[in-house]
Copies of this chain bind each other. A is one copy, B any other.
Amino acid sequence: MKNFIEFLEGRVQGTGSLLCIGLDPHLADLESPTAESALKFCLGIVKETADYASAFKPNAAFFEIFGAEGWDALKELIATINALSIPLILDAKRGDIASTAEAYAKSAFEHLHADAITLNPYLGKDSIDPFIENPEKGAFLLCKTSNPGSDDLQNLQVSPLLDGEGAGVRALYEHVAKLAQSWNTNNNIGLVVGATQPEALAKVRAAAPDLWFLAPGVGAQGGDLATALKAGLREDGKGMLISVSRSVARAEMPRKASRELMNEILKVKKEIGL
């Protein structure tokens, strides 16, 4: 097996796409409020969009809501995507102390067979370690999220004593980006950075020049694609997965919607010469 980021970059190379398709079976979108219906909904999106998806990202919450049956549905969904050799990021936002984090890592990687997971960094390095020990598996750490409440903690100015700089030199989310960049010794860490705040995106890119970003917020949440790409792409024109869920899932033709988004991304990349 390959290193996770190499696996992702191979897929991006093959498709030419930077799209990550979110699989969020909101109850409102389902034929009936059942795990079976959630699975059917997601499999439909996978079938329609697989040609243009460089990754899929199911959100655990919408499966947990159905209990054991939801868990089975999630497992089946992941198996289907695994069989297509498309990187699978489990959006679970876990975060716990070491021995518990080990159990979550086992659950995500060995039981569910996800390729990567989203994690919350509030508990620090040892809560991340069990997820990044194996370079074949990846972790995207929450850095700057796209919700209104993200300002409550993430925008606080922090005084990072670790490198001798003065007080208040950076926001907490920039500090997280710097930590993630320094923790990335296995080349399998990425960051979750909302596409709705281009200034923040640019700061995170400056703090973590090498890392892949998972960037939700284009479309339903109002983020502008071109602005986001200009702020967040790496110098090699990669390093950013544009994560879309509702704008594709609720489109009349998800296949067409995802192809158009992919083409829009390619157009912007051409415009900015990347």
Contact = CB atoms under 8 A, between A and B. Distances in A.
A127 B104 contact: no
A95 to B, nearest CB: 6
A111 B106 CA distance: 24
B111 A65 contact: yes
Given A61-B107, A107-B65, A172-B158, A26 B125 contact: no
For this chain, the copies found in one complex come to 2
Contacts of A153: 121-124, 172, 175-176
A187 interface: no
A40 interface: no
A230 interface: no
A159 interface: yes
B107 A126 contact: no
Interface string A76-102: 000000000000000001111111110
Contacts of A188: none
Contacts of A161: 157
Contacts of A112: 67
A147 B98 contact: yes
Nearest to A175: B156
Contact of A124 (B24, B67, B124, B154): B154
Contact of A160 (B59, B97, B142, B156): B156
Question: Which of A122, A157, A175 has most B Cβ within 10 Å?
Answer: A122
Contacts of A62: 100, 103
A124 to B, nearest CB: 3
Nearest to A142: B122
A123 B98 contact: no
Contact of A100 (B24, B71, B128, B176): B24
Interface of A: 24, 26-27, 59, 61-62, 64-72, 75, 93-101, 103-104, 106-107, 111-112, 120-128, 142, 145-154, 156-161, 167-168, 172, 175-176, 179
28 contacts: A24-B100, A26-B99, A26-B103, A59-B100, A61-B100, A61-B101, A61-B103, A65-B103, A65-B107, A67-B72, A67-B107, A68-B72, A95-B120, A120-B123, A122-B122, A122-B154, A123-B147, A124-B149, A124-B153, A128-B149, A152-B179, A153-B172, A153-B175, A157-B159, A158-B159, A159-B159, A167-B167, A167-B168
Rank and list the top 4 A-B pairs by shortest CB-CB distance, nearest first.
A124-B149, A124-B152, A68-B68, A61-B103
